[in-house]
């Protein structure tokens, strides 16, 4: 039995707060589903969540805008490289026209037989919208931003990971994570992420032996981690035990992320993976279910520092 069912979320360290918020909500038509702060360390940095109106697990993109602290990273190899989201078949031309019209250079291409639109976040992180015929999720319509159900993003398609040594990473994906190889090309390989309700997400490997080692810390302009959904705590601990039993012993202890519980591990290819499951209260743990993402919320352990942290956050209009 697969212990993972699809992605939970994808997380980046970006630059400016306003450009980040506008890119995902006004550009890509996603909804703000949570505004909080970085739970680790003491630097006052926003943690912004975007996705479907209800914040469904397989739709969530999250960011840490690091412009104000002035911490910037290096994109390179042995690091997650590309954020990928799924769109309906035939929607690529709409997105090429829309993004270019908004001043976001976008081009249409293909890999593994799938049409995709390539562009970049304002901080430079590569993004792709992939026409996925196997994805049956309802597209995210956002009429206020000019995105209809015919073209809207369905959710996460996956991520691309750049590696120097494909063999060790592929062994980990197949035997550790229980992913299935779907194809290979001269650049790398494509792996299917198990799903409870059908095939609609993947992880792509890009062999890169020329770029410098990418940054692994929380630093602007880089992807921090790819999070996979274990569905519940039992599967999470079972996967931790499976990986540790195979010798992948750097799986972290469980961390409380308020809305979900997480474990982290550095994959052999360098990309940081998260194993996550949503707690029963979900996004409504600290906001009304019909008003998630409307206010700035803090985890209980930061409430006594709220004023200090709010003063340190980069100003933005949400």
Domain of residue 248, CATH code: 3.10.180.10
- Domain count across the chain: 1
Q: What is the DSSP letter of 142?
A: B
Phi, psi of 178 (to 5 degrees): 65, 35
Report pLDDT for 57.
Answer: 87
Q: Report the pLDDT value the prediction gives residue 301, as an integer from 0 to 100.
A: 83
CB 150, CB 91: distance < 8 Å: yes
Q: What is the pLDDT of residue 95?
A: 98
- Check residue 32 and give its pLDDT: 97
Q: How confident is the model at residue 39 (pLDDT cuts 50, 70, 90)?
A: confident
Give the model's pLDDT for residue 41.
74
The average pLDDT across 5-34 equals 97
pLDDT exceeds cutoff 80 at 197: no
In a domain, 164, yes or no: yes
- 2 within some domain: no
pTM of the predicted model, to two decimals?
A: 0.96
**Using CA atoms in the order 292, 293, 299, 303, what is the torsion angle rounded to 10 degrees?**
-110
Residues whose CB is less than 8 angstroms from the CB of residue 249 and which lie 6 or more positions away in sequence, other chains included: none
Reported as a pLDDT band with limits 50, 70 and 90, residue 22 is very high
The reported pLDDT for the residue numbered 13 is 97
pLDDT in tens, 46-84: 999 999 999 998 999 999 999 988 999 999 999 999 999
CA gyration radius for the chain?
Answer: 18
pLDDT digits (tens, 9 = 90+) for 131-168: 999 999 999 999 999 999 999 999 999 999 999 999 99
pLDDT category at 223 given cuts 50, 70, 90 is very high
Per the structure, the complete domain to which residue 19 belongs is given by 7-312
Would residue 1 count as lying in a domain? no
pLDDT at 306 exceeding the cut of 90: no
* Span 89-106, average pLDDT: 98
Which residues lie below 8 Å from residue 129, measured CB to CB, with a gap of 6+? 84, 85, 86, 87, 91, 92, 95, 116, 117, 153
| Tokens (6 digits) for 124 | 């430079």
Quote the pLDDT of residue 171: 97
Is 282 part of a structural domain of the chain? yes
Asked if residue 285 is part of any domain, the answer here is: yes
pLDDT digits (tens, 9 = 90+) for 251-291: 999 999 999 999 999 999 999 999 999 999 999 999 999 99
The reply to whether 291 falls in a domain is yes
Q: Would you state the pLDDT for residue 2? A: 87
According to the model, what pLDDT value does residue 177 have?
A: 97
In a domain, 107, yes or no: yes
Are 269 and 168 in contact by the 8 Å Cβ rule? The answer is yes
- Which element (helix H / strand E) includes 46? strand 46-51
Residue 267 lies in a domain: yes
């Amino acid at each position: 039995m697969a212990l993972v069912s699809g992605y939970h979320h994808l997380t980046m360290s970006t630059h400016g707060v306003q450009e980040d918020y506008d890119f995902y909500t006004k550009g890509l038509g996603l909804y703000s589903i949570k505004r909080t702060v970085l739970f680790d360390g003491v630097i006052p940095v926003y943690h912004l969540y975007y996705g479907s109106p209800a914040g469904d697990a397989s739709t969530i993109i999250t960011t840490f805008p690091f412009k104000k602290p002035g911490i910037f990273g290096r994109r390179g190899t042995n690091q997650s490289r590309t954020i990928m989201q799924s769109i309906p078949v035939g929607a690529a031309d709409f997105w090429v026209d829309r993004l270019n019209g908004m001043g976001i250079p976008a081009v249409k291409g293909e890999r593994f037989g799938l049409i995709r639109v390539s562009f970049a976040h304002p901080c430079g992180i590569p993004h792709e919208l992939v026409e996925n015929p196997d994805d049956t999720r309802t597209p995210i319509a956002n009429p206020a931003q000019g995105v209809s159900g015919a073209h809207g993003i369905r959710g996460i398609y996956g991520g691309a990971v750049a590696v120097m040594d494909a063999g060790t990473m592929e062994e980990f994906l197949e035997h550790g994570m229980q992913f299935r190889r779907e194809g290979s090309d001269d650049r790398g390989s494509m792996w299917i992420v198990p799903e409870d309700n059908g095939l609609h997400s993947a992880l792509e490997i890009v062999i890169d032996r020329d770029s410098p080692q990418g940054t692994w810390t929380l630093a602007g302009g880089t992807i921090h981690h790819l999070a996979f959904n274990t569905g519940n705590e039992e599967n999470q601990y079972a996967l931790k035990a499976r990986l540790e039993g195979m010798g992948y012993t750097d799986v972290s202890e469980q961390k409380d992320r308020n809305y979900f519980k997480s474990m982290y591990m550095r994959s052999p290819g360098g990309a940081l993976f998260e194993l996550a499951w949503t707690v029963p209260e979900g996004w409504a743990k600290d906001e009304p279910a019909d008003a998630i993402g409307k206010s700035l919320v803090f985890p209980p352990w930061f409430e006594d520092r709220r004023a200090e942290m709010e003063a340190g956050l980069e100003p933005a209009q949400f």
